[in-house]
Amino acid sequence: MRFVYQNTELERELDGATTPDALEAVFQKIAQIPRLFRTPAIYGQKLFAKGFDALIPRVAARLRLEDQPSPPKSNDNVCILATRFYPSGGHTRVAQDIIGRLQPAGVSTVLTDITDELRYRPLLNQATNQTFLGERALVLLSSKLLVERVLETYMILKAMRPSRIVLMSHPMDIVAVLAAWPFRDIVEFVHHADHIPSLGATLPFSAHADLTYTCHLACREAGLDAVYAGMTAPTAQPTTPLTPKTGLRIATCGVIHKYQGKGRYRWADYAVAALRQPGVELVHIGSTDEAFQNELRNALGAAKISLDRYILAGFQPNLPAELGKWEADIYLSSYPEPGGKANLEAMSAGVPTIVPIDANLPPLIRYRLPMPHWVTVNRPDRLGDAIAEVQRLAATMGETERTIIAREAIRFDDFAAGRRPPGTPEGDRLP
C-alpha cells in the first residue's frame, strides 16, 4: 500500500495505553498530529494511517465499546458524525448537500469538537435552533477529556439508534472513529481530506466514499472497496447579468487559504498573467483579506494593470449562479490549492475551466477529474495558451460531452440516496 503515514512511536504508545489517563495522553498527542501535515514529507504524499487504524478495534474493546446490532442501513434515521463545521468551505457544503437531499426526514449531527470551541449559546440568539447546516438536531459533546468524549459519543449514538452514520470527522479525530467503530455495519466513511492522512480510511466500515478523483484512485489502488461519490453542483437559475462586459471575463472562487499557500508561484502571478490578455476582466468570488488585497494591488501596480479589472465580488453561496450573473467565459481555479468542488460546479455549469498546477506537485495534490473541457497550466507565462486551448475545447462541446457531465453530476445524488455510484474506468491510475 502506497501513501501510508507511519508514526511508530505514537502507534506503540497507543497500543500500550491501558488506563484512561494513559489513553488520554496518547489521544491528545494524536490530535496534534495535523500540525505536521504541511511538511513536504507528508503533504500530498501520505493518505492512510494504517498503523493507527489497525489499533482502533483493540482500543475500542479496551474502552468496552461493545458492537451494536444495527437495523438494515437506510435513510430513516441518518446521523452525520463529524468534528465540527465552519460556515464556508467544501467540507461544510458536502454536509449541507447530504442534509438537503434527505428532507423532510432530516439529519442529526453529532460534533465531537475535540478542540472544545463550540457552545450552544449562539443558537439562543437566532430565530431557530438550527445551524447553517439545516440539520434536524445538533448534539455537541461537552466532556472535558477526549477519552470521556469517546464514551459520550458512543452513548449518544447508542441512544439515537441511527440507521445510517455518515462519518465526516477531521483527519485525526480519534474520538469520532473509535465511537463509530461499534456501529461499523451502518457507518460510511466520507473521505474528504484527500491529500493528508486520515484516521479510519482503511477500516472496513460499511462504505468508503471518496469525494475527489485523485483520492479515489489512490484508495482503489490500495485495495479498499471505495466508491467515487464526487460532489454536487447547485443548479443555476436564470439570472440577469450584473454588468455588461466588453471582453473576455474570467472568474475564480475559493476560500482565502487556497490562494495563500506555498507554491512555485503566487496567485498574483496568475492574476497578472490573466489580465495581461487584452480586454480581460477577472472576477474573484469569495472572501479575501487585507494581506491578500495588498499583495494583489502591488502586483497589478507593478505590471501597470488597472486595479478595477480585478473585481472582488465577495462571498456568494451559489457559484453557478454567480458565473451566470457575471457571464463568465472561463473559470480559473484557485492556486496553489485547486478547489475540487468549485471546479466541478464551474464545469457542470458549462464554463470551461483552467486549473493551475505546479509541475512538481506531490502525487495526491495533482488535480484530476473524469470530465471533459478543462485544461491545466503549470506556468503563468503559459496562461495565454491555456486560455486559447480551453476556448477551442468549449467550441467543440457536443452531446457526448454533455452526457458525461450530466452523469458525473448525479454521482453524489446516488451516494446521498444510499445507492452505490457507478464504477470508474479501470485504466485511470495514479503515476
99 and 18 housed in the same domain:
yes
Say which CATH number the domain at 361 has: 3.40.50.2000
213 and 353 housed in the same domain:
no
Residue 372 has pLDDT above 80, yes or no: no
Q: What is the mean pLDDT of the chain?
A: 93
Residue 87 has pLDDT above 70, yes or no: yes
Determine the pLDDT at residue 361: 83
Q: Is 243 a domain residue?
A: no
Catalogue the E-assigned strands of 335-420. 353-356, 374-377
Residue 341 has pLDDT above 90, yes or no: no
DSSP string over 159-192: HH--SEEEE---TT-HHHHHHHGGGGGGEEEEE-
For the ranges 146-150, 350-354, 405-409, the maximum mean pLDDT occurs at 146-150
Q: Is 241 a domain residue?
A: no
Q: Is 161 a domain residue?
A: yes
Residue 281 has pLDDT above 80, yes or no: yes
- The band of 385, judged by pLDDT with boundaries at 50, 70 and 90, is very high
Weakest-pLDDT range from 51-60, 204-213, 302-311, 386-395: 386-395
Q: Is 234 a domain residue?
A: no
Q: Is 202 a domain residue?
A: yes
Of residues 332 and 127, the one with the higher pLDDT is 332
Which residues face 187 on adjacent strands? 165
Determine the pLDDT at residue 36: 94
Q: Is 177 a domain residue?
A: yes
Determine the pLDDT at residue 238: 60
Determine the pLDDT at residue 344: 85
Q: Is 368 a domain residue?
A: yes
223 and 254 housed in the same domain:
no
- The band of 301, judged by pLDDT with boundaries at 50, 70 and 90, is very high
420 and 389 housed in the same domain:
no
Count: domains in the chain: 2
- The band of 431, judged by pLDDT with boundaries at 50, 70 and 90, is confident
Q: What is the mean pLDDT of residues 102-129?
A: 94
Cis bond upstream, residue 104 (ω within 30): yes
- The band of 237, judged by pLDDT with boundaries at 50, 70 and 90, is low
Determine the pLDDT at residue 235: 67
What amino acid is encoded at 427 in this protein?
Answer: G
Residue 279 has pLDDT above 80, yes or no: yes
160 and 281 housed in the same domain:
no
Show the cell assigned to 104: 423532510
142 and 188 housed in the same domain:
yes
Show the domain range for 380: 249-397
- The band of 425, judged by pLDDT with boundaries at 50, 70 and 90, is confident
Q: What is the mean pLDDT of residues 206-226?
A: 95
Weakest-pLDDT range from 12-16, 51-55, 334-338: 334-338
Q: What percent of the chain has pLDDT over 90?
A: 75
61 and 196 housed in the same domain:
yes
Residue 398 has pLDDT above 90, yes or no: no
Say which CATH number the domain at 117 has: 3.40.50.11380
What amino acid is encoded at 356 in this protein?
Answer: P
Q: Is 356 a domain residue?
A: yes
414 and 373 housed in the same domain:
no
418 and 280 housed in the same domain:
no
Determine the pLDDT at residue 236: 61
Residue 18 has pLDDT above 70, yes or no: yes
418 and 391 housed in the same domain:
no
Determine the pLDDT at residue 34: 96
224 and 271 housed in the same domain:
no
Residue 429 has pLDDT above 70, yes or no: yes
Show the cell assigned to 92: 461544510
261 and 364 housed in the same domain:
yes
- The band of 29, judged by pLDDT with boundaries at 50, 70 and 90, is very high
Is the CB of residue 90 less than 8 Å from the CB of residue 192? yes
